[in-house]
Amino acid sequence: MFNFSLLAGNKIFSRSGLVRIKIRAIRSGVWFRVLSQIERAQLDLTIRVVERVRSCLLRRLLASIVRKILEALESPIRRLIREIGAALARRLCAAAERMGCKKAWKWAEDKGFVQFLTITYMNTHRLYRMPIENALQSTL
């Protein structure tokens, strides 16, 4: 699944980490599609000038740019797993707990189960699908 905790590490804010992200973005076509000219220039200049980012202000700026790139690089299936599958798993776990299964909350943490629910949801005909808004609202 998608992990934004990568942004917290120092590796991503080194020249080599930024170059790696830039190369991935260019190769996948995200570089020009997602980033504005100013954001591309900021990342390029940081790569040219700085070996390791120390400034908190520059870190925050780069974190937002890198986050945009990583979100755009995320596959549509992974995005559905993160958004829809997790909500469906929480809803199913809540229903199982109401029926008496005390360890049902562990199901929502199982990546395979969440992936299964997502793929099942995708392959269900639209006529029989539960509206996802209801699934998201009932989990809250």
DSSP conformation class of 130: P
Same domain (yes/no): 86, 131: yes
- The encoded tokens of residue 80 equal 């559905």
Same domain (yes/no): 66, 105: no
Please check the confidence at residue 107 and state whether its pLDDT lies above 70. Answer: yes
Please check the confidence at residue 110 and state whether its pLDDT lies above 60. Answer: yes
Are 81 and 2 a contacting pair, CB within 8 Å? no
Residue 109 CA to residue 134 CA, distance in Å, equals 21
| 3-43 per-position pLDDT tens digit | 554 555 567 889 999 999 999 999 999 999 999 999 999 99
**Which of 74, 100, 131 is a domain's end point?**
74
Choice between 8 and 65, residue whose per-residue pLDDT is larger:
65
Please check the confidence at residue 134 and state whether its pLDDT lies above 60. Answer: no
Same domain (yes/no): 38, 24: yes
Q: Name the pTM for this structure.
A: 0.64
Same domain (yes/no): 82, 125: yes
Cα–Cα–Cα angle for 119, 4, 91, rounded to 5 degrees:
40
Same domain (yes/no): 115, 61: no
- The encoded tokens of residue 134 equal 């209801």
Same domain (yes/no): 81, 64: no
Residue 45's domain comprises 4-74
Classified as helix, coil or strand, 52 is: strand
